[in-house]
Amino acid sequence: MSNYKSVQSALISVFSKEGLEPLVRKLDELGVTLYSTGGTQKFISQLGINVVPVEHITSYPSILGGRVKTLHPKVFGGILNRQENTQDVAELTEYDIPQIDAVIVDLYPFEKTVASGANHQEIIEKIDIGGISLIRAAAKNYADVICVSSVDDYNDFLQLISSGDGLVSESDRKRFAAKAFDISSHYDTAIYNYFNADEASGSLKLSEAKHQVLRYGENPHQNGYFYGNFDALFTKLHGKELSYNNLLDVDAAVNLMNEFKGDAPTFAIMKHNNACGLAQRDTVHQAYLDALAGDPVSAFGGILISNTQIDSNTAEEIHKLFCEVVIAPSYSEAALEILKGKKNRILLIQKEVKLPKQIVRTCLNGMLVQDRDAITDTIDLLSYPTKNRPTDNELNDLLFASKICKHTKSNTIVLAKNNQLCASGTGQTSRVDALNQAIHKAKSFDFDLNGAVMASDAFFPFPDCVEIAHKAGISAVIQPGGSIKDQLSIDYCDTHDMAMVFTGKRHFKH
């Protein structure tokens, strides 16, 4: 039992008192001497439990409006002393410093204060100084002290001292120390990122406190994890746990559907991060049917997303299809009953939450960071280099196709007609290959491409794509422009009465 330590004294200084009472009562029952400050001291006293004010140890009151309470050698000496070190023990006696065996802290809620929209001074006052110092000191000296660093760990510590009659093993002290440094590093990262909002510093600091272990990664032989607060974005209503690949597809679906937020009912079917079907109609029911018609083969096992409530008629059609995930802002009660008919089908309600402004991915032995592609091609961004201008219907389809193109793997070509995705060529090494793939796929599902439009994620260095498109019946093209040989494509369009518009913005997606 030599690696066990008995908790005979505890310093408690917490922001959240939720769940603290049973812990304090248990410590008192075990005969533990309690030290505390401010509101925590008052809370314990009101429970009728004896508590020693920290000021009685330090002979200093809380000063500077509460900014300095525990920052004193008599406090930190009691935490940091090495009990196996005779010199340390002697100094405790010499300077009348009490031994502290447990430190219980819950930090000021800095992140919540920032998220609340509080002003700068209110945020500054929620930067915890004493608490973070207590955590670091106690965690460093885990050999002799146990550090409880969050309201989330009150109950864990309570169970520990209850089962061990106040004895705590070294392995548990080390486990709590790891949690403590997790808390402190995350807290400091949040503060740094607040101060570095303008990115004046070149350092990248990321910290996600919430995580879940996934069934596996991209393949069954790979481990997989998700770091982030999934519940902030979605309410999960039904189904199995989401997989690594599910999450990637959900991410792609949400980013794509954001382009159609507030529009007429729009439905998309995703497969391997690309839309295999998408349509916009007067009703969500028809939007789903026409999205499915885009590629009913690839839709099997796909991710479905709507920009509006899913009703029972739509749910009955969806229920005929094997799909992994369905996402919508809401569902009618009847729709939910139908969709819950498959026990593993994942049903999600998407909440109104802004996505991060930056995208981060690993690369070689580091990370790549870029701004999210926040530009959506709109009519006011267009230029008209060809003699033939698109009709209103063509212009509407061009912008519709461009939104899909932006969220499709490069190289890509998207074909659309009457607010419906006819087909796309995805992830090809050649833009010509992407176009030929899209045409072949559209024809295989009996789409009439006469009067359809084409969107490209990047410019055409040669006129071959507009020539192939024209011969397939496509009447209008949207592309970034910017090639030194743009004129070749313009000339072909002018000769064959095609309309082409330039957006001036490339939308590569790798």
Q: What is the residue-wise DSSP string for 448-497?
A: --TT-EEEESS--SSTHHHHHHHHTT--EEEE----TTHHHHHHHHHHTT
Helix intervals (H) in 141-196: 154-163, 170-195
User: CB–CB of 149/176 below 8 Å?
Assistant: yes
Residues 474 and 469: their CA atoms lie apart, in Å, by: 5
Residue 87 corresponds to which amino acid? Q
Residues 173 and 102: their CA atoms lie apart, in Å, by: 10
Phi and psi dihedrals of 128, rounded to 5? -75, 130
pTM score? 0.86
Q: What pLDDT score was predicted for residue 2? A: 58
Q: What pLDDT score was predicted for residue 383? A: 96
Cβ atoms within 10 Å of 233's Cβ, excluding its own: 17
Residues 78 and 72: their CA atoms lie apart, in Å, by: 10
List residues with catalytic annotation: 140, 272
pLDDT in tens, the chain (510 residues): 458 899 999 999 999 999 999 999 999 999 999 999 889 999 999 999 999 998 888 877 777 777 777 778 888 899 999 988 999 889 889 988 899 999 999 999 999 999 899 999 999 999 999 899 999 999 999 999 999 999 999 999 999 999 988 999 999 999 999 999 999 999 999 999 999 888 777 788 888 888 899 999 999 999 999 999 999 999 999 999 999 999 999 999 999 999 999 999 999 999 999 999 999 999 999 999 999 999 999 999 999 999 999 999 999 999 999 999 999 999 999 999 999 999 999 999 999 888 888 899 999 999 999 999 999 999 999 999 999 999 999 999 999 999 999 999 999 999 999 999 999 999 999 999 999 999 999 999 999 999 999 999 999 999 999 999 999 999 999 999 999 999 999 999 999 999 999 999 999 999
Instruction: Tell me if the bond preceding 411 is cis, omega within 30° of 0.
Output: yes
Q: What pLDDT score was predicted for residue 412? A: 97
Q: What pLDDT score was predicted for residue 73? A: 86
Q: Which residues contact 42 (CB under 8 A, 6 or more apart)?
A: none
Q: Which two tokens stand for residue 22?
A: 């049973």
Phi and psi dihedrals of 18, rounded to 5? -65, 120
Q: Which residues contact 319 (CB under 8 A, 6 or more apart)?
A: 338, 339, 341, 342
Q: What pLDDT score was predicted for residue 61? A: 76
- Positive or negative, the CA dihedral 488, 492, 494, 499 is negative
pLDDT digits (tens, 9 = 90+) for 26-69: 999 999 999 998 899 999 999 999 999 988 888 777 777 777 77
Residue 362 corresponds to which amino acid? T
Residues 302 and 70: their CA atoms lie apart, in Å, by: 56
Residue 366 corresponds to which amino acid? G
pLDDT digits (tens, 9 = 90+) for 292-315: 999 999 999 999 999 999 999 999
Instruction: Count CA within 13 A, CB hemisphere, residue 444.
Output: 12
User: CB–CB of 114/25 below 8 Å?
Assistant: no
Q: What pLDDT score was predicted for residue 200? A: 74
User: CB–CB of 10/101 below 8 Å?
Assistant: yes
Cβ atoms within 10 Å of 231's Cβ, excluding its own: 10
Closest residue by Cα to residue 460 from 425, 495, 435? 435
